[in-house]
Chains A and B, each alone.
Chain A
């Protein structure tokens, strides 16, 4: 490939990326647009006269929602890892009977539409009194991530050399001890990948939030945006400002942990 085609490719790539990212740019642009410019024809392509009213509204009204989302996200991560890491290890190394079937069930579990799960949870929580409470949402959100997490852990841990585990056993470490002091530290990358996705999914969840937490005081940010859309159709800068703030975790993931993201996408898909 000569230098010119390479340059053309870069140029074309920039163009494609610009088109693809345009909605993201537009979100930021609208979040900075003043109310009376919002309906202008044609719309302003750049925030010439930026206003921070939208962000001020976010700070005033949405801060508790952001806190709830953070709490739910972290809780989901913790629960997911506690459940999935041992399960993945068992699947990968201890070769339980029916392991193949279990992997298949985990794959199939990812096919279940969230809305079905939401109805199931709603029925249970109604009896347990867990509706409109954050522990309920953490439990529900973890079901999005656990099957994926188990498969990622299993895929990663099956790559740990058998000799290493044998050496630990010979030294007198039990299964539990081996898992805790050898397997878990080695699996750091898998833990990071799983945590990132579990957090992002819990943070982004709308189905569970809207069904299981519609009346509570502690609402996650997704519901905050949704109510904005429902209530004041006019304040699009505030809506988009909330959207920008709600996108921060995604942006952080992209900048800080991009290789874990790609690893997660491909292990979820390629590993059979």
Chain B
């Protein structure tokens, strides 16, 4: 029994230690052979002119993606919560954007948003809106990647929030309807508060996933033009692998800042949630 415990309990633990060792080796690989440089990498990163914009873009990208994904996911979940013909099939089809490989979604969106031949600009021109340089203008590149990311994120929000809605007993709504509550009142006074724990988890996971987003931005814009859609994730990649001379130390430093940011935000979030739950 002890042997078994050691083998099957220590094994995943070993994996985790292994992972943490691997993180360590990022730095030891770069700094081990090179002279020890302490926090120099971090200092360089902070002083880099890209730092401010990257931080801002990361924040904007994350907040905007979360808000729109969650709002759309919740609205659709409420919509699908009533059974109607085809509702199950349609709900399943909504999973498609989430299941597609990110590179597929990203390349499809980049063609759809193409300035000259994209379907989006063609549709806009029917309403007399001039061509928007979605991916090539610094004003729009961040908006474009947010649109694509929201599209990918809606299914996850929908599925999780829907399962949360299903857990709310139907009698509650019947009672509320008897008391004369309108649909809108039912939603804000009952559904929304009762859904709060599930919403919290959804947003927390969404936050963690969104901070990590790299593929979509890199494939659609490479963080450009002129860093206008650079986030910490793409910046880290560019430092580490995007240049002819890799700057692993600084790339890893940016990446570690991203982890710290994710952990700090989730801890903060969990704490405020706990406080709210206490009467």
CB <8 Å contact, B101 and A203: yes
B67 at the interface (CB under 8 A from A): no
B13 partner residues in chain A, CB cutoff 8 A: 98, 102
A240–B108 contact, CB under 8 A? yes
Say yes or no: B86 contacts A14, CB within 8 Å: yes
Instruction: Pick the interface stretch among B44-52, B92-100, B185-193.
Output: B92-100
Does A143 have its Cβ within 8 Å of any Cβ on chain B? Answer: yes
Question: How far is the CB of B107 from the nearest CB of chain A, in Å?
Answer: 6
Q: Are A41 and B219 in contact (CB under 8 A)?
A: no
Please tell me if B256 contacts chain A, counting CB pairs below 8 Å.
yes
Q: Is the CB of B117 within 8 A of A38?
A: yes
Q: For residue B22, which residue of chain A has the nearest CB?
A: A120
Residue of A20, A150, A239, A270 touching B107 (CB-CB under 8 A):
A239
- State the Cβ distance, A132 to closest chain B Cβ, in Å: 14
**Contact of B9 with A254 in the complex, beta carbons under 8 Å:** no
Contact between B9 and A96, CB atoms less than 8 A apart: yes
Cross-chain contact B107 with A254 (CB below 8 angstroms) = no
- Answer yes or no: A195 CB below 8 A from chain B CBs: no
B269 interfacial by beta-carbon distance below 8 Å = no
**Which residue on chain A has the smallest CB distance to residue B241?**
A211
Q: Which of A90, A98, A114, A123 is in CB contact (< 8 Å) with B212?
A: A114
A115 near B104 with CB under 8 A, answer: no
Pick from B80, B163, B259: contact of A112, CB below 8 A. Answer: B259
- Majority DSSP secondary structure for residues of A touching B: helix
Give the CA-CA distance A167 to B119 in the complex, in Å: 64
State the Cβ distance, B245 to closest chain A Cβ, in Å. Answer: 15
Contact indicator B111/A120 (Cβ below 8 Å): no
Report chain B residues within 8 Å CB of A222: 101, 103
Which A residues are CB-close (under 8 A) to B111?
Answer: 26, 30, 236, 239-240
Within 8 Å by CB of B30, from A7, A123, A226, lies: A123
Interface positions, chain B 29-68, Cβ under 8 Å from A, are: 29-30
Q: Are A265 and B26 touching (Cβ within 8 A)? A: no
B90 touches A94 (CB 8 A): no
Using known A-B contacts A115-B236, A119-B26, A204-B103, determine if residue A265 contacts B11 with beta carbons closer than 8 Å.
no
Q: Does A180 contact B (CB under 8 A)?
A: no
Verify A86–B8 contact, CB threshold 8 A.
yes
Indicate the size class of the contact surface on chain A.
35 or more
Contact check, A94 vs B22: say whether CB atoms are below 8 A apart: no
Interface of B is mostly: helix
A60 interface residue, CB < 8 Å from B?
A: no
Are B95 and A261 in contact, with the CB atoms below 8 A? yes
B251 at the binding interface (Cβ < 8 Å): yes
Give chain B's interface residue range (CB within 8 Å of chain A). 35 or more
- Stretch of A46-54, A157-165, A184-192, A242-250 with 4 or more beta carbons under 8 angstroms from chain B: A242-250
> Is A12 at the interface (CB under 8 A from chain B)?
yes
- The answer to whether A166 has its CB under 8 Å from any CB of chain B is no
Task: Tell me the complex Cα distance, A122–B102, Å.
Answer: 22
List residues of chain A with CB within 8 A of the CB of B211.
113
Write the A67-98 contact mask toward B (1 if CB under 8 angstroms, else 0): 00000000000000001101101110010101
B95 touches A247 (CB 8 A): no
B248 in the interface (beta carbon within 8 A): yes
Q: Point out which of B100, B109, B214 has the most chain A C-beta atoms below 10 A from its C-beta.
A: B100
Contact present for B105 and A246 (CB under 8 Å): no
- Interface assignment of B135: CB less than 8 Å from any CB of chain A: no
Q: Is B139 an interface residue (CB 8 A)?
A: no
Show 19 A/B contacts (Cβ-Cβ < 8 Å), sorted by A. A1-B82, A6-B85, A17-B90, A24-B108, A26-B108, A83-B11, A86-B7, A102-B12, A111-B263, A115-B237, A116-B258, A119-B251, A121-B22, A123-B25, A123-B248, A124-B29, A246-B103, A247-B100, A265-B159
Chain A to chain B: the 9 pairs with minimum beta-carbon distance, closest first: A123-B29, A204-B101, A250-B99, A120-B22, A87-B12, A96-B9, A116-B255, A9-B84, A42-B122
19 A-B pairs besides A30-B111, A115-B255 with CB distance below 8 A are A1-B82, A7-B85, A10-B87, A13-B90, A14-B86, A23-B105, A87-B9, A94-B5, A111-B263, A112-B259, A113-B236, A124-B25, A124-B29, A200-B99, A206-B219, A229-B110, A239-B107, A254-B96, A268-B205
- Residues in chain A within 8 A of chain B (CB atoms): 1, 6-7, 9-10, 12-14, 16-17, 20-21, 23-24, 26-27, 30, 38-43, 83-84, 86-87, 89-91, 94, 96, 98, 102, 105-106, 108-124, 126-127, 143, 146, 150, 175-176, 200, 203-204, 206-207, 210-211, 214, 222, 225-226, 229, 236, 239-240, 243, 246-247, 250, 253-254, 258, 261-262, 265-266, 268-270
On B, residues with C-beta under 8 Å from A are 1, 4-5, 7-9, 11-13, 15-16, 19, 22-23, 25-26, 29-30, 76, 79-80, 82, 84-87, 90, 92-97, 99-105, 107-112, 116-119, 122, 125-126, 151, 154, 156, 159-160, 163-164, 198, 201-202, 205, 208, 211-212, 214-215, 219, 233, 236-237, 240-241, 248, 251-252, 255-256, 258-259, 262-263, 266
